[in-house]
């Protein structure tokens, strides 16, 4: 399903050139929606495949939209021909926040699980 989402979204590439910021926000929302559906899918065993499939579809579309809009957004910040430097720093910042997010998620899960352990 993720590959189908990528193929469908790739047909919208020309539209993304005119409004890269808008499509980048759409990509973020689609990715969060897809991740949410994947996380919630075990709670609905009778709809597991459908929820996980739609989640993967949304994430596939989000990946294409995010990658397609990255260059125009970075290009708008490149004033001195430093596009590679901006791209590298953007990737480093993204990686840093992903690692911090994983740490916060682990801590939050640990706290929630320890507080619920006596109740379960």
Number of structural domains (the chain) is: 2
Torsion, CA 42, CA 45, CA 49, CA 50, rounded to 10 = -100
Instruction: Mark whether 8 and 56 lie in a shared domain.
Output: yes
Structural domain harbouring 95: 80-120
Instruction: Mark whether 72 and 87 lie in a shared domain.
Output: no
Instruction: Mark whether 90 and 117 lie in a shared domain.
Output: yes
Instruction: Mark whether 96 and 116 lie in a shared domain.
Output: yes
Instruction: Mark whether 71 and 84 lie in a shared domain.
Output: no
Per-residue CA distances from 44 to 40, 49, 93, 113 (Å): 7, 9, 36, 21
Instruction: Mark whether 87 and 72 lie in a shared domain.
Output: no
The SS3 of residue 55 is helix
The CA distance from 13 to 20, in Å, is 10
Instruction: Mark whether 86 and 53 lie in a shared domain.
Output: no
Write the pLDDT tens digit of every residue in 57-87.
Answer: 999 999 999 988 888 888 888 878 788 888 8
Write the pLDDT tens digit of every residue in 28-63.
Answer: 999 999 999 999 998 988 999 999 999 999 999 999
Q: What is the pTM of this model?
A: 0.72
């Amino acid at each position: 399903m993720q590959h189908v989402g990528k193929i469908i979204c790739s047909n919208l590439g020309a539209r993304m050139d005119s409004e890269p910021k808008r499509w980048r926000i759409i990509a973020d929302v689609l990715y969060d929606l897809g991740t949410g559906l994947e996380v919630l899918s075990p709670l609905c065993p009778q709809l597991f495949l459908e929820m996980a499939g739609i989640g993967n579809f949304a994430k596939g579309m989000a990946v294409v939209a995010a990658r397609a809009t990255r260059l125009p957004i970075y290009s708008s910040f490149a004033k001195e021909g430093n596009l590679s430097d901006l791209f590298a720093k953007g990737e480093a910042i993204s990686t840093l926040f992903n690692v911090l997010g994983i740490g916060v998620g682990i801590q939050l899960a640990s706290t929630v699980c320890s507080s619920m352990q006596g109740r379960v």
